[in-house]
Amino acid sequence: MAFISRGFHGRRPSAGTKLPPGQYETTGFPVLSAGPTPRIRQDDWKLSVTTEAGKQHVWDWAGLMALPAESPTVDLHCVTKWSKFGTEWQGVSLDVLLADVETAAEHVLVTSYGGYTTNIPLADLVDGKAWIAYGYGGSDLAPEHGGPARLLVPHLYLWKSAKWVREIELRPSDVPGFWESAGYHNYGDPWREQRYQGD
């Protein structure tokens, strides 16, 4: 027989919203990170894409700003159980950044200022599914939320959307990142509730 929590009634999500299993809706914007927030000035910021052949493509802040911007409105799902609907971002699609990059790699390791890492299949970063985001709600992205710029991959749990992004490394083989090495799921699809290894 299915488990019932005696006396628990709960709160249903508002009409028209659909929550992934185990999640609840928040209207705040909680912060999750494993250490102090790195303070990176826009002038010091650089992003590189490195191919498996060792070729590097580098953008500085002015270079990023010169690229065509998009304003995606997306839902966020954090493995710590909160979901936030309809968040409005400004940023550059990974399709733009990867347009001139020659690669046969299928795996990506993303590294942040501060040393955080996360791994993602390349297929999950292309075709309009991922951005380098530098604006949130019409303002600069705050440092505690990953500013000056973070990866945004909203169809996966939010730990994949690395804050303070510094490098996107295209790799022939997969390598687990920070949380993926600590027992969290390698892929992290919230709709399949892939929180931990084995889920």
Partner 1 sequence: MARAAIPGRLGDRLRWRTAEVTGRRVESATAVTLTLDLPGWPGHLAGQHVDVRLTAEDGYSTQRSYSIASAPNGRSLDLTVQRTSGGEVSPYLVDELVPGDRLELRGPVGGWFVWRQQQTEPILLVAGGSGLVPLMCMVRAREAAGSRAPFRLLCAARTPSDLLYRSELRQGAPGLDTTYLYSREAPADSPRPPGRIAPEDLVRSGWPPDFEPTCYVCGPTAFVEKTAAYLVLLGHAPERVRTERFG
Q: Which residues pair with 58 in a beta bridge?
A: 48
Cis, peptide link before residue 148, omega less than 30° from 0: yes
- DSSP state letters, 68-121: PPB--EEEEE-TTSEEEEEEEEEEEEHHHHHTT------EEEEEETTS-EEEEE
The pair of three-digit structure tokens given for residue 123, joined into one six-digit string: 């297929």
CA 53 to chain CA centroid, nearest Å: 25
The pair of three-digit structure tokens given for residue 111, joined into one six-digit string: 């590294």
Name the residue nearer to partner 1 (CB basis): 10 or 86: 10
Interface residues toward partner 1, by CB under 8 A: 2-12, 21-24, 28, 30-38, 80-81, 114-117, 144, 178-179, 181-183, 195-199
Name the residue nearer to partner 1 (CB basis): 33 or 48: 33
- Closest approach, Cβ 177 to partner 1, in A, equals 9
- Closest approach, Cβ 66 to partner 1, in A, equals 31
Name the residue nearer to partner 1 (CB basis): 23 or 93: 23
- Closest approach, Cβ 24 to partner 1, in A, equals 5
- Closest approach, Cβ 103 to partner 1, in A, equals 25
Name the residue nearer to partner 1 (CB basis): 37 or 103: 37
